[in-house]
Structure 1
Amino acid sequence: MSAPAPAAGQPITMGAGNKLNVPDHPIVPFIEGDGTGRDIWRASVRVLDAAVEKAYGGKKKIAWHEVYAGEKAFTQFNNWLPDQTIEDFKKYLVGIKGPLTTPIGGGIRSLNVALRQMLDLYVCLRPVRWFEGVPSPVKNPGSVDMVIFRENTEDIYAGVEFEAGSDDVKQVLAFIKEKFPKSFSKIRFPETTAIGIKPVSREGSERLAREAIKYALVNGRKSVTFVHKGNIMKFTEGAFMKWGYDLAEREFGDKVYTWQTWEKTKAAKGEEAANAEQKAALAGGKILIKDAIADITLQQVLTRPKEFDVIATLNLNGDYLSDALAAQVGGIGIAPGGNVNYTTGHAIFEATHGTAPKYADLDKVNPGSVVLSGEMML
C-alpha cells in the first residue's frame, strides 16, 4: 500500500550516540496530503530539491518515496492509514507530510495524532519567529523568537474517552461512584456526562523536559519555561512542572538555575539571597528554568514576548500556544513543525495548517509551512 521504494536510494539509519547516518541518496517517505496538500507538495518538493542541489553541488539528492494516508489512501485502499505507511516511516526513520483530513465529532480519529502515537514521536517541535515583510497583527513581531516543545503522546490527546449515555461511560461512572464518592459528587450532571481521561506520566514529562533543556544548551538559549495549569490540575499539570524541575536539577544541575532552587534558597536565607544567587548563576552562563501558568502565558507572549525563549508544555496547552504564537508572526500557513523521537531517530515533519479543500487545485495556498518544515528536516 505504498509506491515501491526508489531503487537508487538508501535508508537513513541510527548510529552510535543516537546520531543519524545519512547516505548521499536518502530515501525519505512523504505523504502528499489532502485538499491543498497536493498543490503545496508540488511547490515544496521543487524548493527542497533545489536546496539540496545548491548545498551539495549535485553530489547528494533525496530519493522521495510516496506513502499514503488520508483521503488518497482511503480512495485507493479503503484504509485511512495503511499499515505499510507506518512500516515505511519506521524503516526509513525521517519523513515529511502535508495536511490530513480529520472529521469533527465522529468517524476516524486524527491521523496526525495516530502517526505521532504509533511512532512514539513524543516531541512536537515548533519554532516560532517572524520573517521580515510578513503581515502581522502585533506591533513588534520581531520580538517573537521562541521554540515550543509540546508533549505529543499523552494528555487528553491520548483519546481515552467514553461517550455520554454509552454502556462504557456508565461503567466508568459506576466505578467512580463506588470507589471515589467524593470525586463523583463533583460531576454536575452524571446522567448525561461524557468522560475523558488525562494521562500524564513522569517518564513522558521527563523525556520532554530533557530534550527542551538539551536544545536550549546546544543552541545558546537563555531560558526554558514549563507552561502548565498546575494551579487547577495539581496531580497532572502540577506534576509535569515538578518532574521537569527535578530532572533539570538532577541531570543538568551544573548548567541550569531553577525557580525551584530559588524558592528553597528564599525559604532558607531570604528573598534577597535568592535573587543574588539567581543573578550570579545567570551571569555565569547558566540557563534559567522557570514555569508559567498557561492562561497568563497566552497573554504574556503577546505583551512580553522577549521573556520567553524555549517553552516545554503538555499536549493541549502546546496546541493552543503554538497556534496563537504562529498568528503573531503571520499565521499557521507559514508555521513549520516536526514530530520527533530523539531516542529512536524517528521524525515526521509536517504542515501545521489544515487542508483548506475549497482552495484545492487552484495553486493559491502558500507552501511556506511545508517548505520550512522541510528546512527543519534537512
Structure 2
Amino acid sequence: MSYDKIEVPEQGEKITLKDGSEDELEIPDNPIIPIIYGDGVGSDVGPAAQKVLDAAADATGREINWMRIYAGESAREMYDENLPDETVEAIKEHRVAIKGPLTTPVGAGFRSLNVALRQTLDLYANVRPTYYLDGVPSPVKAPEEMDMVTFRENTEDVYAGIEWEAGTEEVEQVRDFIEDEMGFDSTIHEGPVGIGIKPITEKGSKRLVREAIDYALEQGRDKVTLVHKGNIMKFTEGQFSEWGMEVADEEYPDDEVFAAPDSLWEEQDDIDIPEGAIMVEERLADAMLQWMQLRTDEFDVLAMPNLNGDYLSDSAGAQIGGLGIAPGGNFGKGRMLAEPVHGSAPKRANQDMANPSALILSGRLMFDYMGWDDAADLVRDAVEETISSGKVTYDLERQLEDAEKLATSEYAEEVIDNIEKLS
C-alpha cells in the first residue's frame, strides 16, 4: 500500500506469510522492517540500536532496510495524533517491527499507546526473556541462575480498560446492577466507588499457553509454569489455569508434554515424567514472587494473565540488574513487535547518555523470531562482551568500580566493534 508520510525504502523486500500458512513467515535476506524510535530517550537509543542491528545483519550476510514509522511525540508532530492509522497498517503489512519506549500524554484518547498497539494488532503474547549478562551489577547473590521467559497475556484482564470512574452516572448503574441484580448487596462499601471488569477468556488463555508450550518445545526448555491467583479469583484467573492445563493435557502427545497434577511443589522429584517431555505445572502468583528469588533455577517458562505478567516480569528483571537491559516482544499470529521493557525517561532525552541495551536485545529477540539465530547470538555476545569489559553507559558505570562511562552512541560503536571481532 502507499502511505502519506511514511517513506518506503526503495530497496528490500516485504516479510510475507508462507503460502497456505496463517503464521509461518517467509523472511528474505533484505527485509523491510518498520522502526519507531519512541519518545524521551527513544531519540537516543533508537538510532543506536538500529546501527547495532545493522552490523549484526551485515556480519551474517544480510541487510535490513529500515522504514521509519511514527507514534507518540513524533506522530503528533507529523500527523497531529498519537497513533496514526498508517503506522498500524505499516506494521500489519510488514509483519515484523521494532519500537522504542512510548509515553501516553494526558488527554490523548488512549490509556496507553503501548497497550493500544498490542490490542489493535492483536499481539496477544508479551514475551520477556530474562537472563544475566556477565558484568551487570545485580542486587542478588547469584543472578546467573536467572534464565526465565515470561509469556504474559497481552489483550485482556484489567488491561482491557473496562472501568468506570467514581461519582459518574455510569458507575452507579454498574453498582446498582451488581447489588440489585446479581445479589452482591453487602459487598461494596458505602460512598464513592470505582469499578472495573476483569475479563479472562478461554480463547485468550488457551492461545497464550499454547504459545508458551510451543516455545518450550522449540527451545528445548524443561518446564512451563502457569502463574495465577485462582484460589481467590476462581472464575477468572482460576479458569485461566484450568484452560491452560486443558491445552497441555489435550493438545499434545504425552511423550511431549506432561500436565502435572495439582500441588506438586515438594514432590516434583518423585513425579514420573516421560523422558524428553516438558512438564506443565501451576503456581500461585504471590508465592511465585518468593520462589523466583529463592529457587530461581527451578523455573523456566512462565505463562500468566496480563497483570501478573506485568508484576512478575519486572521482578525477574530486577534480579538480573534492572529494566534498563530487559528486552521484550509482542507476538501475534504471523506478526511481531519488539520493544524494550523500560520507559521513556524524558529527563534523559537527547543527552546521548541512555543505555540502549534493552532495545538492542529486543532486536535480538526479533532476530530469533525471524530465524536469524546467528545474528541474534552475535548481538547477545557482543553486548555481554562490551559490558563485561567495563565499557558501559552512566546507569551501570555509577554502580561499578573502574568502569569507563560511554555515551549512548559510543556504547553502540563499542558493541559494533565486538560484533566485528566475534563474527
In structure 2, what is the Cα distance between the partners aligned to 1:6 and 1:356?
30
**15-24 vs 323-332, which moves further:** 15-24
| Cα displacement string for residues 74-111 of structure 1 (whole angstroms, at most 9, x for unaligned residues) | 12221010111111111111100000003479863100
Q: Percent identity?
A: 50
In structure 1, what is the Cα distance between the partners aligned to 2:311 and 2:263?
29
Give the counterpart letter for 2:257 in structure 1. V
Within 5 Å, give how 1:269-288 maps onto structure 2.
Answer: 278-279=271-272, 281-282=273-274, 284-288=275-279
In structure 2, what is the Cα distance between the partners aligned to 1:128 and 1:362?
28
2:296 to 297, 302, 305: 305
Instruction: Find the counterpart in structure 2 of residue 72 from structure 1.
Output: 74
Give the counterpart letter for 2:124 in structure 1. Y
| Cα displacement string for residues 53-75 of structure 1 (whole angstroms, at most 9, x for unaligned residues) | 1011xxx3111111111011112
What is the deviation of 1:152? 0.3
What SS class does the counterpart of residue 282 from structure 2 fall into? Answer: strand
CA RMSD across the alignment: 1.9
| Cα displacement string for residues 15-44 of structure 1 (whole angstroms, at most 9, x for unaligned residues) | 144321112321111111001001001211
Q: Is the Cα–Cα contact under 8 Å of residues 262 and 282 in structure 2 kept in the other structure?
A: no
In structure 2, what is the Cα distance between the partners aligned to 1:2 and 1:103?
22
Instruction: Find the counterpart in structure 2 of residue 332 from structure 1.
Output: 323
Instruction: Find the counterpart in structure 1 of residue 257 from structure 2.
Output: 256
Alignment gaps of 5+ in structure 1: 264-270
Give runs of ≥4 in structure 1 deviating > 4 Å. Answer: 103-107
Give the counterpart letter for 2:173 in structure 1. Q
The question of 1:174 aligning with 2:176 is answered: yes
What is the deviation of 1:262? 8.5
Instruction: Find the counterpart in structure 1 of residue 413 from structure 2.
Output: none
Q: Is the Cα–Cα contact under 8 Å of residues 227 and 294 in structure 1 kept in the other structure?
A: yes
Instruction: Find the counterpart in structure 2 of residue 268 from structure 1.
Output: none
| Cα displacement string for residues 273-321 of structure 1 (whole angstroms, at most 9, x for unaligned residues) | x975x23x25x22211111110110111011101110000010000001
**86-95 vs 251-260, which moves further:** 251-260
Alignment TM-score, normalising by the size of structure 2: 0.82
In structure 2, what is the Cα distance between the partners aligned to 1:155 and 1:299?
23
2:9 to 6, 9, 34: 6
The question of 1:363 aligning with 2:339 is answered: no
The question of 1:38 aligning with 2:43 is answered: yes
Instruction: Find the counterpart in structure 2 of residue 120 from structure 1.
Output: 122
In structure 1, what is the Cα distance between the partners aligned to 2:128 and 2:115?
16
What SS class does the counterpart of residue 177 from structure 1 fall into? Answer: helix
The question of 1:354 aligning with 2:359 is answered: no
In structure 2, what is the Cα distance between the partners aligned to 1:334 and 1:103?
25
What is the deviation of 1:350? 0.5
**95-104 vs 148-157, which moves further:** 95-104
How many aligned positions are there? 360
Alignment TM-score, normalising by the size of structure 1: 0.91
In structure 2, what is the Cα distance between the partners aligned to 1:208 and 1:355?
27
The question of 1:164 aligning with 2:166 is answered: yes
Q: Is the Cα–Cα contact under 8 Å of residues 132 and 146 in structure 2 kept in the other structure?
A: yes
Alignment gaps of 5+ in structure 2: 368-423
| Cα displacement string for residues 146-192 of structure 1 (whole angstroms, at most 9, x for unaligned residues) | 010100001000011111111211111122222112x2421123x31
Q: Is the Cα–Cα contact under 8 Å of residues 340 and 348 in structure 1 kept in the other structure?
A: yes
